[in-house]
């Protein structure tokens, strides 16, 4: 399957690498095509890189990892019409967390921005370190991945992709529930930053330890 990634940060890099290793056609997009091509080369497995618009055009399923709605960084948002978009974003997380009232989830904002696309919230509750383990090890550990969305066929396909990564997909209902998954991510990140244990996953099931794949965690924007 053709899978593309808007943004080339930590999560995109490890998820793209995992899918490329499984034999999917992978394309990474960035504001800097040169940077995306460099990361694709680092991943290997015939992964490709280019602009975000090229990534939007390429993928049958598009993983959205930019902390903003697509219209702010794509020249042509119609490239995403009728496509399945996996939103894996969380809000920027302050170390001194002060829970503000949540008016709308990031996933719902993306759906409003590209109404013809099929948004599925997923993969926002795993740190990249939890995906260093191979699919079989993750499968045995019972690591879960919660998903929410309004399009059943899109959720079914995303669930199948998550299973290929070794994750156990849990249907969390319609997209209006995505804000709960984003709050859940805040709970996990509070725990991670307090303890330094980045392998915690939903339900506090710990992923197995494994060496870094597709690069260590990096700071800064990609």
Q: Beta-carbon neighbour count of residue 140 at 10 Å?
A: 11
Per mean pLDDT, which range of 32-46, 89-103, 127-141 is the poorest? 89-103
Residue 36, C-beta contacts closer than 8 angstroms, at least 6 positions apart: 8, 28, 29, 30, 49, 50, 51, 55
Query: What are 3-13's pLDDT values in tens digits?
Result: 999 999 999 99
Mean pLDDT of 66-92: 95
Q: Please state, rounded to an integer, the average pLDDT across all residues of the chain.
A: 91
Give dist(CA 91, CA 81) in Å, integer. 25
Which structure tokens are listed for 73? 């960084």
Supply φ then ψ for residue 188, to 5 degrees.
Answer: -65, -40
H helices within 95-146, ranges in order? 106-113, 135-141
Q: Is the pLDDT of residue 98 over 70?
A: no
Q: pLDDT class for 218, splitting at 50, 70, 90? A: confident
Per-residue pLDDT at 58: 98
Query: What are 173-196's pLDDT values in tens digits?
Result: 999 999 999 988 988 888 888 898
Fold of 2-206: Rossmann fold (3.40.50)
Which structure tokens are listed for 176? 């209006």
**Minimal CA–CA distance to 159: which of 28, 168, 75, 150?**
168
Per-residue pLDDT at 220: 58
> What DSSP string describes 59-89?
-SEEEE-SSS-GGGT-S-GGGGTT-EEEE--
Query: What are 109-144's pLDDT values in tens digits?
Result: 999 999 999 999 999 998 899 899 999 999 999 999
Residue 190, C-beta contacts closer than 8 angstroms, at least 6 positions apart: 97
202/52: higher pLDDT: 52
Q: Chain centroid to CA 190: how far?
A: 19
Q: Beta-carbon neighbour count of residue 125 at 10 Å?
A: 25
* Tokens 């506090």, residue located: 204
Mean pLDDT of 215-222: 66
Report the residue count for the chain: 222
Give dist(CA 215, CA 73) in Å, integer. 25
Q: Is the pLDDT of residue 40 over 90?
A: yes
């Amino acid at each position: 399957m053709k899978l593309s990634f808007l943004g080339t940060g930590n999560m995109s890099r490890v998820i793209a690498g995992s899918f490329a290793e499984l034999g999917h056609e992978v394309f990474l997009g960035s504001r800097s095509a040169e940077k995306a091509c460099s990361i694709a080369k680092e991943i290997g497995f015939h992964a490709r890189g280019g602009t975000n618009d090229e990534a939007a055009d390429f993928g049958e399923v598009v993983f959205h990892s930019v902390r903003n709605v697509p219209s702010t960084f794509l020249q042509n948002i119609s490239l995403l019409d009728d496509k399945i978009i996996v939103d894996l974003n969380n809000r920027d997380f302050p170390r001194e967390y002060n829970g503000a009232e949540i008016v709308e989830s990031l996933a719902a904002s993306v759906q409003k921005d590209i109404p013809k696309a099929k948004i599925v919230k997923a993969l926002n509750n795993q740190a990249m370190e939890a995906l260093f383990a191979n699919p079989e090890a993750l499968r045995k550990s019972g690591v879960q991945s919660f998903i929410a969305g309004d399009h059943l066929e899109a959720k079914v396909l995303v669930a199948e992709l998550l299973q290929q990564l070794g994750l156990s997909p849990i249907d969390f209902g319609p997209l209006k529930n995505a804000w709960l998954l984003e709050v859940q991510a805040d709970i996990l990140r509070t725990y991670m930053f307090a303890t330094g244990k980045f392998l915690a996953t939903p339900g506090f099931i710990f992923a197995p330890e494994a060496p870094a794949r597709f690069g260590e965690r990096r700071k800064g924007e990609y």
